[in-house]
Amino acid sequence: MSATFLGMPGNFPKNSQKAVQDSQLRYNLRKATHTIRGKRASVVGELPDWAELRAAGKAIKDHTLRNLDRYLVQLERAVQDAGGTVHWARDAAEANRIVTALVKATGEREVVKVKSMATQEIELNQALAAEGITAYETDLAELIVQLGDDFPSHILVPAIHRNRSEIREIFLEKMPKTPEGLTDDPPALAEAARLHLRERFLRSKVAISGANFMVAETGTLVVLESEGNGRMCLTLPETLISVVGIEKLLPAWRDLEVFLQLLPRSSTGERMNPYTSMWTGAVEGQDFHLVLLDNGRTGVLADEVGRQALRCIRCSACLNVCPVYERAGGHAYGSVYPGPIGAILTPQLRGMGSELDASLPYASSLCGACYDVCPVAIDIPEVLVDLRAKAPHAAAEKAGMKVAGWILDDHRRLAAAQRIAAKVRGLVPKKRLPGPMSAWTDTRDVPEIPEESFRDWWERNERA
Amino acid sequence: MSAREEILARIARAVAGAEDVEIPRDYRTEAATGDLVGLFAERVDDYRAVVHVLPAAEAAGLVAERVAGRRMIVPDGFDLAGHESWPDLHTADGVVTGCAVAVAVTGTIVLDHGPGQGTRAQTLVPDYHLCVVRAGQIVSSVPEAIARLDPSRPLTWISGPSATSDIELSRVEGVHGPRTLEVVIST
């Protein structure tokens, strides 16, 4: 990918306004989100103890976060004891430096990658490219995104905004040696990707992955996937480098029994994903490196309301039920974490310094559907509201709110204000308010001001 | 300060004074009783794998039949008389293995790559995987499987053949792993 999300101009309202006018995108998104949503509901319905699993998942994550320092040290020891090397990275730059140095030490100029949000977050591919190392994405959707010089738009199915004919065009244009007469049939496209990647898998000496879970007690890393590209990367190369956010930890081996039930059912709507790989340290002769990534996570942890976002297991169930995501799509969020979880995670990880990040807490109707489906019960609406209060506001808005607060604080002031409003009602524009207030009327009509307030009407008619 | 020390210090500061959390474990550890073989077979079939349920003697016969005439990898420890293991991973037609445990409710086979199960690459690169599951290896639930497994071993959980849904969510089998998974349940 050549472009970058960080510092993307604009804000969520502007980005989404553009997106909703793209009827192809809206059609793709609606079809995708409704399909996965239905599948998820049906497999979750199969488990009579879903509520208990969800409560356990939430509590395990909260307990881990409370004791994160202790468990990370335990994990480090277990990985080292099993022959792995552990590295710590305070931020994206440090993580990229560590990975780049590890790749260079092998003498290789190419790496294969398993789909990983952590490495997207730190923009590892760009950092490697700057050092002359080419990173090849191997997940089919990530490959489509990479070849199309595009951005992922969904956590689970990153190329969901593309349809089959667009994918065929991308393959024909960007993939060397596409099969002759390539059609837009999904099996034909998947076969083309298989041929394209197979040689690369067999050739590559270094792989980079993330992980869905790390177990402190045993030092085990866990990757869930469907295609087998993950297994190819994790198994075949001589060196494996895993970059994992510090919040991906679970205390005990036993805890996997909860998350291996919660994650596949919540994300792809399957009872189990086709492949799960687990490895502890250096196995089958591989050289194994684990890079533990902070990059803003400890800052999120320090926020009493916002820290619950760190429970997230990246299942994407919240995206698939969100009425805002369904219409605006993932790109509007300008982050590798789109949808409701992105709206609370991104502004916490990056801060609300940019216009885009400050707008994200508003990328929601607060309907609460995301909270209902979240397998670890993250109260996304609660965090959104909390972040809205913390977001920077324009001086005019702050002044207006202060005045409104002062008026609403006292019933006599309110009654006086209503009487004044009734007197000047003829002067108030019907559709657009002037100046800074125009922001409010961009998406609403001005409500009609009554001739007389209810209070005055009551005084006149009923009091006597 | 090293990155390690700094991150640990940031965490300690961030959670200072926060209360610890009790973990409720009142979810089920057993998911079903009764016909686990039948349930497992049904769930594996759901993933578009090929499934057979056979008495042990017939199962061995079926495996011998499937392997005959094919360039099959037969890992050390897999009991299959009279068949030479194909020596090259990349030109093999397929692989035949046992497993460590199987989960009925999810239709999942778990390999711990011990005797008779080959390496992780051997069950991945060839296009065809024939897996023999003994009825006694089938447990009902994910928690039972976790309890039986040794985390110090590499583990591969397999639920059906390789599949992708990345193109318009239309499911396609066999992107990178074996395109065909055939499961013989020996009773």
Residues A308-324 have pLDDT tens digits of 999 999 999 999 999 99
Q: Residue A200 above 60 pLDDT?
A: yes
* Facing residue for A90 by CB, picked from B3, B103, B120: B3
Q: Residue B96 above 70 pLDDT?
A: yes
Residue A282 belongs to domain with CATH number: 3.40.50.10420
Cα A114 from Cα A143, distance rounded (Å): 10
Contact A274 B26 (CB under 8 A): no
- In chain A, residues with a C-beta closer than 8 Å to the C-beta of B32 are none
What residue of B is the nearest CA neighbor of A230? B176
Q: Residue A4 above 60 pLDDT?
A: no
Q: What is the dihedral of CA A390, A391, A395, A401, to 10 degrees?
A: -60
B110 in a structural domain: yes
- On average, the pLDDT of chain A sits at 93
Least confident residue range of A115-129, A267-281, A432-446: A432-446
Cα B168 from Cα A184, distance rounded (Å): 11
Q: Residue A424 above 70 pLDDT?
A: yes
Contact A69 B12 (CB under 8 A): yes
| pLDDT for the residue numbered A3 | 44
What residue of B is the nearest CA neighbor of A25? B168
How large is the average pLDDT for residues B73-80? Answer: 94
HEC string for A138-183: CCHHHHHHHHCCCCCCCCCCCCCCCCHHHHHHHHHHHCCCCCCCCC
Tell me, yes or no, whether A93 and A214 share the same domain: yes
B1 in a structural domain: no
| Residue type for position A377 | A
* Domain-ending residue, one of A295, A327, A347: A295
Under the banding of pLDDT at 50, 70 and 90, the label for residue A455 is confident
What residue of B is the nearest CA neighbor of A82? B152
Tell me, yes or no, whether A110 and A241 share the same domain: yes
Tell me, yes or no, whether A68 and A190 share the same domain: yes
Beta-carbon pairs below 8 A across chains A and B: 226
Least confident residue range of A41-55, A194-208, A420-434: A420-434
**Longest CA span, chain A:** 93
Tell me, yes or no, whether A276 and A417 share the same domain: no
B73 in a structural domain: yes
Distance of residue B90 Cα from the nearest chain A Cα, in angstroms: 9
| pLDDT for the residue numbered A356 | 94
- Range of the structural domain that residue A457 is part of: 395-463
Under the banding of pLDDT at 50, 70 and 90, the label for residue A8 is low
Of all residues in chain A, the percent with pLDDT exceeding 70 is 98
| pLDDT for the residue numbered A7 | 44
- Give the CA angle between residues A5, A378, A329 to the nearest 5°: 35
| pLDDT for the residue numbered A412 | 94
Domain count, chain A: 2
- In chain B, residues with a C-beta closer than 8 Å to the C-beta of A253 are 146, 151
What count of Cα atoms within 13 Å lies in the side-chain half-sphere of residue A203? Answer: 11
Q: Residue B151 above 50 pLDDT?
A: yes
Contact B159 A68 (CB under 8 A): no
A19 in a structural domain: no
* Domain-ending residue, one of A265, A295, A325: A295
B10 in a structural domain: no
Contact A301 B11 (CB under 8 A): yes
What residue of A is the nearest CA neighbor of B123? A231
| pLDDT for the residue numbered A88 | 98
Domain count, chain B: 1
What residue of B is the nearest CA neighbor of A51? B27
Substitution target from A80, A261, A307 for chain B, most B beta carbons within 10 A: A261
CB-CB contact of A114 with A87 (8 Å): no
Per-residue pLDDT reduced to its tens digit, A128-174: 999 999 999 999 999 999 999 999 999 999 999 998 999 999 999 99
Contact A260 B12 (CB under 8 A): no
Secondary structure letter of residue A42 according to DSSP: H
A390 in a structural domain: no
B18 in a structural domain: no
- On average, the pLDDT of chain B sits at 95
A323 in a structural domain: no
* Facing residue for B23 by CB, picked from A60, A273, A302: A60
| 3-class SS of residue A6 | coil
Non-local (6+) Cβ contacts of A35 within 8 A are: B169
- In chain A, residues with a C-beta closer than 8 Å to the C-beta of B158 are 274-275
Under the banding of pLDDT at 50, 70 and 90, the label for residue A342 is very high
- In chain A, residues with a C-beta closer than 8 Å to the C-beta of B181 are none
B92 in a structural domain: yes
| 3-class SS of residue B6 | helix
B16 in a structural domain: no
Per-residue pLDDT reduced to its tens digit, B4-58: 999 999 999 999 999 999 999 999 999 877 899 999 999 999 999 999 999 999 9
Contact A275 B157 (CB under 8 A): yes
- In chain B, residues with a C-beta closer than 8 Å to the C-beta of A267 are none
A35 in a structural domain: no
Q: Which of A290, A336, A151, A141 is nearest to A229 (CA)?
A: A141
Alpha helices by DSSP H, A217-286: 229-235, 256-267
- In chain B, residues with a C-beta closer than 8 Å to the C-beta of A113 are none
Point out which residues pair with A88 in neighbouring strands.
A292
- In chain A, residues with a C-beta closer than 8 Å to the C-beta of B103 are 272
For chain A, say whether B177 makes contact (Cβ under 8 Å): yes
Secondary structure letter of residue B136 according to DSSP: G
CB atoms within 10 A of CB B88: 8
Distance of residue A1 Cα from the nearest chain B Cα, in angstroms: 19
Q: Which residue has the higher pLDDT, A339 or A446?
A: A339
- In chain A, residues with a C-beta closer than 8 Å to the C-beta of B162 are 226-228, 274-275
Q: For chain B, report the end-to-end CA distance as a whole number of angstroms.
A: 61
Tell me, yes or no, whether A291 and A403 share the same domain: no
Distance of residue A124 Cα from the nearest chain B Cα, in angstroms: 19
| pLDDT for the residue numbered B81 | 84
- Range of the structural domain that residue B142 is part of: 31-186
A154 in a structural domain: yes
Under the banding of pLDDT at 50, 70 and 90, the label for residue A9 is low
| pLDDT for the residue numbered A397 | 84
| pLDDT for the residue numbered A1 | 37
B163 in a structural domain: yes
A131 in a structural domain: yes
Contact A56 B24 (CB under 8 A): yes
* Facing residue for A284 by CB, picked from B27, B125, B154: B154
Interface of B with A in 50-89 (CB under 8 A): none
Q: Residue A357 above 90 pLDDT?
A: yes
How large is the average pLDDT for residues B62-91? Answer: 93
Distance of residue A33 Cα from the nearest chain B Cα, in angstroms: 10
A326 in a structural domain: no
Residue B128 belongs to domain with CATH number: 3.40.50.10420
Interface of B with A in 114-153 (CB under 8 A): 119-121, 124-125, 142-143, 146-147, 151-153
ipTM for the complex? 0.97
What count of Cα atoms within 13 Å lies in the side-chain half-sphere of residue A435? Answer: 5
Least confident residue range of A93-97, A112-116, B115-119, B165-169: B165-169
- In chain B, residues with a C-beta closer than 8 Å to the C-beta of A171 are none
For chain A, say whether B33 makes contact (Cβ under 8 Å): no
Cα A241 from Cα A227, distance rounded (Å): 20
What residue of A is the nearest CA neighbor of B113? A284
Per-residue pLDDT reduced to its tens digit, A208-264: 999 999 999 999 999 999 999 999 999 999 999 999 999 999 999 999 999 999 999
